[in-house]
């Protein structure tokens, strides 16, 4: 009898162990992996490009949260008050929000985060630096911002103020003197660690390779039961690698930088779809406005009239729309009546004859840089080269890695004539694009290689974003777009649908599903990859692997 009981007990124990191991294995597969061009910076005072913005949106929290319709809703801040003159904003924080180390988030952390961002002066600091006078903690859960001048989109812009754990950062500063008593302000440590309260926390960060993050179990908001337990942001856009990973079901969402052939072929595989997200991204050919011959407005307009926009929108990037001015059509404040350049070789030649370089074109070849990590950009570069040749302009096409592009656009002297670059909004208004693309403060960044430096335009942008009244502000945005288009500092190529291959059979991705239904996706860069808006079903993945 004893041996029978022991045998039954052993069998039951082994069965339970097997079931537990199976459940654990199933849980470990609740991962979302996606690819993107590197580098990725997870320090909120440095993050600004696409991959960095996706990362910090998942690792950190903000006072307000961007919605799919371009509005903001309470997040860390339960409510707020705005003074009649639009200069004072008072936020009342949620109590009990925990950072990843278990400590509580308070008003002091909000103060620290803004002051650190402004002091370092990188990333999204350009949004706040001109307008924030002071930020102070009135008590443990109340914080007040006082502005130097009114800033109409201030609430919308706060989706870019990510709140850090002050004590944790200060414990990890290096005393190099760069920021006085704050040493390096924790910049070195925050290259590979986080100090956030977001739904995910860093498990491992390998520079130039990947970011691996896991779900934060004490997150203050309820986490959907099918949300990923972890995500991995892989630093590659190499087409063969992405195709292999997708085929082996080791990649859930591809980057959006793949050639058209990739999406056409990958969609033929069972369980994979291609999502087309108009997230506010616009594809520019940026022209150096301070360097001969692109410093000449007639030379620039000649190029604007010679480009075959239809080929770019319909053949190279199928499903795209020709851009109409510097602001994506989905952004609130876009001017749908602004002038749109079309291919017209007669007008192109007329403009070129007005250029001071017309009789010296052979002495002024133009360098056009395309990003090595985005293969389809080469096709656009070669098309522009061929189009320009039709009116006698020589264009040299140059393949350049993204990191080198970032370095060389830092000074006007090292910046080439033209760059093919995608730019997305930082908050959901036209003012975001107008400021980051054309205000002089953004010169020297990858977002403005034009070096426009137009004082009149600067004043117009500053006036518009200072306007508190919504309709009045938008009317000013529309006039600014007309002013910019008349200067023709850039070629407005396409409003890009970000094309992503994704494992439709075993993940539900809200942004992709909204796009398929023809609904708006999030216009704020990075937030369409918010992992709490994704559901993972590992048992369905297993089904595919067995087929």
Q: What mean pLDDT value characterizes the chain?
A: 92
Tell me the residue ranges of DSSP E strands in 434-502: 490-502
> What are the backbone angles phi and psi of residue 19, rounded to the nearest 5°?
-65, -40
Is residue 117 within 8 Å of 233, Cβ to Cβ? no
What is the pTM assigned to this prediction?
A: 0.79
Where is pLDDT greater, at 492 or 20?
Answer: 492
Is residue 263 within 8 Å of 499, Cβ to Cβ? yes
What token pair was written down for 482? 């007309």
pLDDT tens digits for 441-456?
A: 899 999 999 999 999 9
Q: How does DSSP classify residue 1?
A: -
> By mean pLDDT, which of 106-110, 200-204, 254-258 is the weakest?
254-258
pLDDT tens digits for 201-217?
A: 999 999 889 999 999 99
Q: How confident is the model at residue 28 (pLDDT cuts 50, 70, 90)?
A: low
What token pair was written down for 529? 């990859």
Whole-angstrom CA distances from 85 to 150, 309, 469 are 7, 45, 11
Is residue 485 within 8 Å of 479, Cβ to Cβ? no
Answer yes or no: is pLDDT of 282 > 60: yes
Between CA 452 and CA 287 the distance in angstroms is 9
């Amino acid at each position: 009898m004893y041996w029978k009981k022991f045998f039954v007990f052993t069998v039951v124990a082994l069965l339970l162990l097997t079931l537990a191991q199976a459940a654990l294995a199933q849980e470990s597969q609740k991962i979302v992996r996606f690819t993107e061009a590197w580098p990725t910076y997870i320090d909120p005072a440095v993050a600004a490009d696409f991959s960095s913005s996706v990362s910090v949106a998942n690792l950190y929290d903000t006072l307000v949260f961007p919605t799919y319709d371009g509005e903001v809703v309470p997040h860390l801040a339960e409510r707020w008050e705005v003074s009649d003159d639009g200069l004072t904003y008072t936020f009342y924080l949620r109590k009990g929000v925990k950072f990843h180390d278990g400590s509580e988030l308070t008003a002091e952390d909000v103060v620290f985060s803004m002051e650190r961002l402004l002091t370092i002066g990188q990333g999204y600091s350009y949004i706040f630096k001109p307008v924030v006078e002071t930020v102070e903690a009135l008590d443990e859960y109340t914080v007040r911002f006082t502005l130097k001048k009114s800033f109409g989109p201030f609430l919308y812009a706060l989706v870019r103020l990510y709140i850090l754990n002050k004590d944790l950062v200060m414990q990890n500063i290096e005393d190099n003197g760069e920021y006085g008593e704050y040493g390096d302000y924790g910049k070195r440590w925050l290259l590979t660690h986080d100090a956030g309260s977001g739904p995910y926390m860093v498990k491992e960060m390998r520079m130039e390779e990947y970011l691996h993050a896991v779900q934060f179990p004490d997150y203050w908001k309820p986490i959907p039961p099918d949300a990923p337990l972890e995500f991995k942001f892989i630093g590659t856009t190499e087409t063969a690698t992405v195709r292999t990973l997708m085929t082996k079901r080791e990649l859930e969402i591809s980057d959006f930088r793949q050639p058209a052939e990739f999406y056409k072929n990958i969609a033929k595989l069972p369980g994979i779809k291609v999502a087309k997200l108009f997230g506010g991204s616009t594809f520019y050919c940026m022209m150096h406005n301070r360097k001969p011959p692109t410093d000449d407005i007639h030379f620039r307009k000649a190029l604007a009239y010679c480009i075959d926009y239809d080929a770019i929108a319909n053949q190279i990037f199928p499903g795209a729309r020709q851009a109409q001015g510097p602001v994506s059509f989905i952004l609130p404040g876009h001017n749908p009546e602004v002038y749109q350049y079309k291919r017209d070789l007669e007008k192109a030649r007329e403009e070129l004859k007005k250029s001071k370089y017309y009789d010296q074109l052979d002495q002024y070849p133009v360098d056009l840089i395309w990003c090595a990590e985005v293969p389809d950009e080469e096709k656009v570069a070669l098309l522009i080269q061929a189009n320009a040749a039709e009116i006698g302009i020589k264009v040299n096409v140059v393949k350049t890695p993204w990191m080198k592009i970032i370095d060389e656009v830092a000074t006007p002297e090292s910046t080439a004539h033209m760059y093919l670059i995608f730019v997305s909004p930082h908050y959901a208004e036209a003012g975001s694009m107008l400021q980051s693309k054309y205000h002089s403060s953004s010169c020297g960044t990858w977002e403005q290689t034009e070096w426009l430096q137009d004082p009149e335009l600067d004043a117009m942008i500053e006036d518009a974003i200072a306007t508190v009244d919504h309709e009045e502000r938008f009317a000013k945005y529309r006039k600014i777009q007309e002013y910019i288009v008349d200067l023709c500092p850039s070629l407005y190529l396409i409003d890009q649908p970000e094309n992503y291959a994704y494992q439709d059979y075993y993940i539900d991705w809200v942004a992709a599903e909204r796009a398929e239904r023809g609904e708006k996706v999030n216009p704020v860069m990075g937030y369409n990859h918010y992992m709490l808006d994704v559901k993972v079903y590992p048992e369905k993945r297993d089904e595919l692997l067995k087929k």
